[in-house]
Structure 1
Amino acid sequence: MHHRAIIVFLLLLLSMGLVWFGYSPGLHGGFLFDDFANLPTLGTLGPVDNWPAFWRYITSGTADPTGRPLTLLTFLLDAHDWPADPYPFKRTNLILHLLNGALLYALLARLGHLLGYDNRQGQTAALLGTALWLLHPLLASTTLYIVQREAMLPATCTLAGLLLWLHGRQLLAKSKTAAGLAWSMLGLGGFTVLGVLSKANGAMLPMLAVLIEAIVLTRQQPLRQADAQWAHRLTLFIFSIVPSVAILGYVFWTGLQGVLAGGPVGIRPWSVGQRLLTEPRVLLDYLQLLWLPRPFSSGLFNDQYVASTSWLQPVTTLSAMLAVFGLIGLAWWQRRRYPAPALAILFYFAGQLLESTSIPLELYFEHRNYLPALLMFWPLGLWLADMRSLRTFKYALMLALPLGMVWMTHTRAELWGNVHSQALLWARINPDSARAQTNAAQIEMQAGQPQAAIRRLNKLLVNQPSQVQLAFNLIGARCMTGGIAATDLDAAQLAMRGTPNTGTLFANWFERTLPVAMSGGCPGLTTQGIQKLIDTGLENPKLSAAGPQQDLIYLRGKIALAQGQPDMALADFTRALDLQVRPGMALEAAATLGRAGYPSHGLRLLDHYETVSEKVMKPSFGMPWLHAWVLERQHYWPYELNHLRNQLTLDAKASSVNTSSHSLHPGVPH
C-alpha cells in the first residue's frame, strides 16, 4: 500500500512537471483583450500600497453583483500598480492550474473509492483523469489568459468544497455528527461563498454536490444513525437543494422574460430565445474540442459565431438540441448502471448552466469549459485502468494520450507566447471576426506593416460596415501610409451611425488620434472630421443612453479645449456631467481644464458640481454600493475635490499675476 502510494505520488508529480513543460512557452506572452478592461484597476485610484488603497481596490469590481473580489485579491500577488509585467500573472495562473490538478486527483480518487473500485484501479483512473484534464490544450485559453483566473478560482473552490463536504459526510457515516456537520457546512456553504466571490459560476457547487449525492452516495454510503441522517439532510437541504432550486428558478425566469420580451438584448444582436436555440450547438462544439483535441482553435475571438434564428436555421440547431437533451436523459437513465460516465456528463452540463443558457452573455468562450470538464476524462481513466482485457492496448493509450496532450499544449503555448503569430493565426481561423481582424491589424501596424492592415480591414469592413473597431483602425493604418481620404471618414461615420456600442473603444482611439489631428500629423484628418464622428454618434439612437451620450459630449468638449475654446469646453463638460452626476467625472473634467491652462474654468466646473451633487448617481446593488460606502468612509472624493480646488485656485492666482505682469510690461515676450 505504502509502495503504491509513493508511485502514485511520483506519477502525479511527473504529470505536473509535464504540465509546466507544456505551458512554459506561453508564460512569456503579453496581455490580451479583456485583460486591459480589468487589470488596470490595480492603478486606477493609485498604487495598492496601503490599507485605504487596498479597500478601494478590492471593492472596485463591477462584474457580477459581487464584483469578484477574491479574484481581484489574487492579482495583488502579481502586481500592486499598473502598468505591470504579464509574466507573474501568467505564472500564478499556472500554479493555480497545478493546484486544481492536485485537488482534482483527490476528488477523483475519493469518488472511485466510494464507487467500490479497488485502490489500484481507482488511483490509476484518478491519475489519468487528472493528467488528461491538466494537459488538455483547450484549457490553455483559460490558464494563459490572465483575466480568466476568475474562471479558475471557482474550480478551486468547487473542488475544495466538494472534498470537505465528502469528508464531513464520511464523519457523519461514522456517527461523528458534530464534526461531520461542521465540515459539511464549511464545504458546501463556505466554499460556495468563496466561489461566488471569484465568479458567479462558483454558485454551481451546491448543484454538483446534489449530483454526487444522487448518483454516488445515496447507494454507496448510506447513513445509518438517525441523528446523522437528520444532520446530513438538513445540511444538504439548506446548502445544496435550496441554492440549486434558486439557480434553476433564476435561469428559467430569465429565459422566460427574455423570450416574452423578444428582440435583441442590450448591445447583443440576438434575443434570449435565439441564444437558447444557439447554445446546444455551442456545447457540442465544446465537447468536440474536448474529445477531439487539436493544437489550435478559434481562441478568444468568437464574435462571428452565428446565432440560431429558428429550430432549423442553421440546420444543425434542432439536432444539436436533441443531442444535448438526449445525452442528459441518457446519463440520468443509466446513472445506476454506469455511475461514473453519468456523473461526468451531468456534471459537465450542470457546470455550463449559468453561462450557456438564458443569461445574455456572449455566445461562445472556450474558458467556460474549465470547471465543467473537471470529471470529463475520469470514465476513460476507469476504463483504461481496468486490466481485465486489452491490457497492451490500454498501456499504450496511457502513454500516448498524455504525451499527445503535452505536445498539443506545448504547441498552443508557443502561440500564446508569441503575440504576433497568435494574432495572425486567430485572424486566419476566424476570417469573419471583427475582433480577430482588428487585433491582427493592430499587430501588423505595430510591426510596421500598415498596408497589410489596410487590406485586412477593408476586406471585412465591406460586409460589416457598422463595426467601429474596423473603421477606426483603418484610419490609423491610413495615417501610417501618408494620410486618409474622405472615404475613410465616410466609413467611420457610417460605423458610428449604426454601432450598438463603442465601449471604451472610441474614447481610447480619440485620446490617441486627437493630438495627431491637432498637429497635422495625418493629412486629411482634422478636428472637424473627428467632431463629425462625435456628432454622428450623438445622433445614433443605439447610443442614446446617458452613459454613451456623456462620453461623446465629454470628448466634444476636449476638442473645443484643444481648439482654444474654454467656454465651449466648459459648456460641454457641464452638460456631460449633468447626464450622470459623478464625482469622478467632475474631478476629471476640472483637472482637464486646469491642465490645459484654464484653472478658473476648472473652478467654475467644480462650483457647478457642488450645485448638483445631491443628484449624484446612486450605486447599484452589490459591490458598487460597498465600494461607494468605502469611498465615503475614507472621505475620498471630498479630499480629492478639495485638493484639486486648492491647486486650481493657486494656478488661477498665478495666471492672474502673470497676466497683470504682461499688461504692465508689454515688451516682455510671452
Structure 2
Amino acid sequence: MFSTGLLLAPGLHGGFLFDDYGSLPVLGDTGPIHSWATFWRYITSGYADPTGRPLALLSFLLDARDWPAIPFPFKRTNLLLHLLNGGLLALLLRQLGRHIQNRFAQHDSSPIDKAALLGASIWLLHPLFVSTTLYIVQREAMLPATFTLIGLLLWLHGRRAIQQGRTTAGLMEIVAGLGGCTSLATLSKANGILLPALALVIEYILLRSYESAGHPATAPANVKAMRHGIRWDDNKTYRNTMLLFAWLPTSMVAAYLLQQGWSGLIHGISSARPWTLGQRLLTEPRVLMDYLTLLWMPRPFTPGLFNDQIQASTSLWSPITTLPALCSIVALIAGSWRLRQRWPSLATGILFYFVGQSLESSTVALELYFEHRNYLPAMLLFWPLALWLCDAYVVTVKITGRSHVSRATSRLAKPALSALILLGLGLMTHARATLWGDSRDQAMLWAALNPNSPRAQTYAADIEIANNQPQQAIARLQPLLTKYPDQVQLALPLISAECQTGQIDSATIRAARLSLSTARDTGALLANWFNQTINEIGTTPCPQLTYDTIDSLLDSSLTNPYLSAIQGREQDIYHLKGHLALSRGDAQTALNDFNHALDLQVRPAIALEQAAMLGSAGHPRLGLIHLDHYDAERNQEAQPDFGMPRLHDWVLRRQQYWPREIMHLRATLQSDTTRQTSRNP
C-alpha cells in the first residue's frame, strides 16, 4: 500500500474539478463551520439523493471548515481512504478464501492469503481508479465501498460464528454488518444500499456452491451442523435474519428499479436528458462492455470525466455494437449462473460486478457513463485471476464434488506474470496520477481523447482563455459549435474568447442566441457566466459586449421550453435580468425583475440576495420594498422535497436562521435609507 501511495502522490497537487465546485462550496455557505449551529446547517445541506449524503459531507470537514479552500488536504484524504479500501479488500478476500478452505481437508492457507493480497493489489493499483481517488467529490463513491467492505466482513464473521454455535454473537455481527453498515453506506451515497444484494451474491454463488458441491467436507447443512454441535434452530435463525436484513432490502431495491423503469417508459423522464429511458437501457450494455474492456485491458489514459460524446442507442442496430453488447452481457450473467458450481469464484466476481452496477446502470435516469461507477463493483473481478496465479485450490469445484487443485506449469512463470501485471499497472497508475497533478496537460489530453465532447473542449478552451490564448480557444470551439448548435457550454465561452481578441463576430452572438433558446439544460453555467460578464461590461476590450447584447441573450433563453420546465432556471434568468438592469442604473426595472424572479419560486435565500444587491447598489429603500414583497408572498413557499431537504428546512426553522438573517439585513437597509434621507432631505 505504501508503494501505491507513492505512485499516486503526484496527483495530489492537482486542482478542483467540475462537480467539486457543486458540492464543496457549501462548506462556507452560512459561514465557517465552527459551532453546532453551523455544523447542523452544513451536514443537512446535501441535495444529491434523498439522503443528501451526510457522511460524505461530514468527511469533508476533515479537510476544511470554510470555503474557499485548497485541494491538497481533500485529495490526501481520498488517497488514504483508497489505501484503506485496498486493505479491507485484502481482508475480505482472505476471509472468503479461508471460509471456503474450511470446507476442504487442506490446511495450507498460504496460497489463499497470497491470492487475497494479489487480488486486492491488482484492484488497488488499477489505473481506472485514479480518477475516482483524485477527483475529490468522488469520495462519495469511495465511502460506500468502505462501509460495504466492513459490512461484508462483519456478515461473514457472524455467519461463521453461527455455524460454530455462537448464535447471539453471530446475529449481532450480521445485524451490524448488513443493517448498520448498509445504513452508513447509503448515507454516503445511494448505491450503498446494494450491500445486502452483494452479500446474497457471495452467499449463493460462492459459499453455498462449495457447501452443496457434494464434497465430504460440505455435507448437507443440517447433518453437518449437527456434527459440529449446531442446532437446526440456529440455521433457521440465520435464514430469518437474512430474510430481514438481506432479502427484504434487496427486494425493495429491485421494486424501486422496476418502478423507475415503468414510470420512465410510460411517463418519460426529465427533458434535460437528450435520450429516453428506453434508449438508456439499450445504451448501458455498450457502456458496461466498455467498462469491462478498461478493467481487463487497462491503459494509462482514458477519456476521464468527459463522456458526453457517448452516442445513445436508438435501436438494437443503431449503433451496430448495441446488439452484440447486449448479447455479451446476457451471456456473461447467464453463463456465470450456469457455471457457478464449477467455477464459483469466477461466477461470483462477474455477478458481484453486475449487481454492483445495477443501481447506476439501469433504470435510474443518470448520465450514461462515469468511470467511478466501477470502483466498488470491480472489487472481486481480479480475485479468480489471483487464485490461479497463486495456485489456490478454490479456483474451481466440479459439480461432482471433487476439488480441482490448479497446478502451475512452471514454478517461475506465474510469480513472474504476477509481478509483471503489478508492475504494468503501477506504471500506468503513476503516469495517470502525474497527469492529474497538472491541470493544463490534463485538459489538453482530455480534449485530444474526446474530440467530440463539448465538455472536454470547453474545459481546454477555459484553460487557454485563462492563459491568454484566445485564438486557440476559438479554433477549438467554433467547429464543435457548428456541429452542436444547442450547446451553451460552447457558445458562451466562444464569446469570452472572441472578446479577449477585441472583436466578437456577429455570427457568434447569433449562435449564442440559438443555443440559449434550444439547450436542454444550462446547469450552473447560465448564472456563472452571465453574472461574471455583466460585472465586466465596460471593462473588456470588445465594444460588442454591451448591456443590450446581454439582454438579448437572456431574452433568447426565456423562449427556451426546456429551461422553463426545469425548476429554478426561469428564476435564474429573471434574477440575471434584474442584475443587468441594476448594473445599467435602472433600479426600478431591477426591482420588478427581482420580484418576478421571487414569485417564480418563493425562497428566503433569493429574496435576501436580491435585496442585498439593491442595497449594495445604493438603493436600500428598494431593497426594503423587495423584502416586503417576500413577506407578502412567503406563504407561497413550496414544501421541500422529501428526505434531507426537508430535514435541512426543519434545522433552519429550528434555528430561526432566515428570520434572523432577514431582520439583520432589514436593519442594515433601514439604516442606509435613513442616512440617504438625511443627506437628501
TM-score normalised by the shorter chain: which range applies? over 0.9
Structure 2 contact 291–371 (Cα < 8 Å) conserved: yes
Residue from 507, 510, 514 that aligns with 2:530: 510
Q: Deviations over 1:410-467 (max 9, x none)?
A: 0000100000000000000000000000000001111221110010000111100110
CA RMSD of aligned residues (A): 1.2
| 1:258 shift after superposition | 1.6
> What is the identity, as a one-letter code, of the residue corresponding to 1:350?
V
Secondary structure of the residue aligned to 1:39 is helix
Q: Does 1:624 align with 2:645?
A: yes
Aligned to 1:284: 289
> What is the identity, as a one-letter code, of the residue corresponding to 1:17?
F
Residue from 465, 484, 504 that aligns with 1:484: 504
Q: Does 1:347 align with 2:347?
A: no
Q: Does 1:403 align with 2:423?
A: yes
| 1:520 shift after superposition | 5.4
Name which of structure 1's ranges 388-397 and 607-616 shifts more when overlaid on structure 2: 388-397
Aligned to 1:86: 71
Aligned to 1:237: 243
| 1:215 shift after superposition | 2.0
Q: Does 1:646 align with 2:667?
A: yes
Structure 2 contact 615–623 (Cα < 8 Å) conserved: yes
Following superposition of structure 1 onto structure 2, how do residues 385-534 of structure 1 map, counting pairs within 5 Å? 385-386=390-391, 387-519=407-539, 521-534=541-554
Q: Does 1:126 align with 2:146?
A: no
Gaps in structure 1 of 5+ consecutive residues: 1-15, 661-670
Distance 1:521 1:617 in 2: 44
Q: Deviations over 1:265-317 (max 9, x none)?
A: 33010000000000000000000000001000010000000000001111111
Distance 2:469 2:541 in 1: 18
| 1:398 shift after superposition | 1.5
Distance 1:99 1:235 in 2: 29
Aligned to 1:665: none
Aligned to 2:85: 100
Structure 2 contact 500–540 (Cα < 8 Å) conserved: no
Distance 1:520-1:601 versus aligned 2 partners, 3 A rule: same
Structure 1 contact 304–430 (Cα < 8 Å) conserved: yes
Distance 2:63 2:237 in 1: 42
Structure 1 contact 520–526 (Cα < 8 Å) conserved: no
Distance 1:265 1:573 in 2: 27
Aligned to 1:596: 617
| 1:146 shift after superposition | 0.4
Q: Deviations over 1:80-119 (max 9, x none)?
A: 0111110000000000000001110000001111222741
Secondary structure of the residue aligned to 1:469 is helix
Residue from 20, 29, 35 that aligns with 2:20: 35
Structure 1 contact 192–203 (Cα < 8 Å) conserved: yes
> What is the identity, as a one-letter code, of the residue corresponding to 1:167?
H
Structure 1 contact 265–272 (Cα < 8 Å) conserved: no
Structure 1 contact 518–527 (Cα < 8 Å) conserved: no
Secondary structure of the residue aligned to 2:412 is helix
Q: Deviations over 1:459-498 (max 9, x none)?
A: 1111001100111001111111113122221111011011
Aligned to 1:358: 363
Secondary structure of the residue aligned to 1:311 is coil
Structure 2 contact 12–134 (Cα < 8 Å) conserved: yes
Structure 1 contact 130–378 (Cα < 8 Å) conserved: yes
Q: Does 1:67 align with 2:52?
A: yes
| 1:390 shift after superposition | 3.0
| 1:243 shift after superposition | 0.8
Structure 1 contact 603–649 (Cα < 8 Å) conserved: yes
Aligned to 1:251: 257
Distance 2:41 2:538 in 1: 37
Distance 2:31 2:161 in 1: 49
Distance 2:93 2:612 in 1: 58
Structure 1 contact 100–159 (Cα < 8 Å) conserved: yes
Distance 1:97-1:651 versus aligned 2 partners, 3 A rule: same
Gaps in structure 2 of 5+ consecutive residues: 212-217, 392-406
Distance 1:445-1:589 versus aligned 2 partners, 3 A rule: same
Structure 2 contact 271–562 (Cα < 8 Å) conserved: no
Following superposition of structure 1 onto structure 2, how do residues 132-143 of structure 1 map, counting pairs within 5 Å? 132-143=122-133
Tell me the number of residue pairs that the alignment of Structure 1 and Structure 2 aligns: 644
Provide the TM-score with structure 1 as the length reference: 0.95
Structure 2 contact 97–112 (Cα < 8 Å) conserved: yes
Q: Deviations over 1:227-266 (max 9, x none)?
A: 321221121001100111111121122112222335x633
Aligned to 2:339: 334
Structure 1 contact 25–417 (Cα < 8 Å) conserved: yes
Aligned to 2:401: none
Aligned to 1:185: 175
Structure 1 contact 483–525 (Cα < 8 Å) conserved: no
Provide the TM-score with structure 2 as the length reference: 0.93
Secondary structure of the residue aligned to 1:602 is helix
| 1:518 shift after superposition | 3.8
Distance 1:216 1:497 in 2: 55
Structure 1 consecutive aligned stretches of length 4 or more whose deviation exceeds 6 Å:
none
> What is the identity, as a one-letter code, of the residue corresponding to 1:402?
L
| 1:389 shift after superposition | 2.5
Secondary structure of the residue aligned to 1:308 is coil
Distance 2:264 2:645 in 1: 25
Structure 2 contact 581–589 (Cα < 8 Å) conserved: yes
Structure 2 contact 481–490 (Cα < 8 Å) conserved: yes
| 1:392 shift after superposition | 1.7
Secondary structure of the residue aligned to 2:300 is coil
Q: Does 1:579 align with 2:600?
A: yes
Residue from 106, 119, 139 that aligns with 1:149: 139
Distance 1:261 1:612 in 2: 33
Aligned to 2:193: 203
Secondary structure of the residue aligned to 2:153 is helix
Q: Deviations over 1:623-647 (max 9, x none)?
A: 0000000000000000000000000
Structure 1 contact 518–562 (Cα < 8 Å) conserved: no
> What is the identity, as a one-letter code, of the residue corresponding to 1:332?
W
Distance 2:236 2:345 in 1: 27
Secondary structure of the residue aligned to 1:83 is coil
Aligned to 1:370: 375
Structure 1 contact 286–366 (Cα < 8 Å) conserved: yes
Distance 2:456 2:487 in 1: 12
Structure 2 contact 352–377 (Cα < 8 Å) conserved: yes
Structure 2 contact 501–541 (Cα < 8 Å) conserved: no
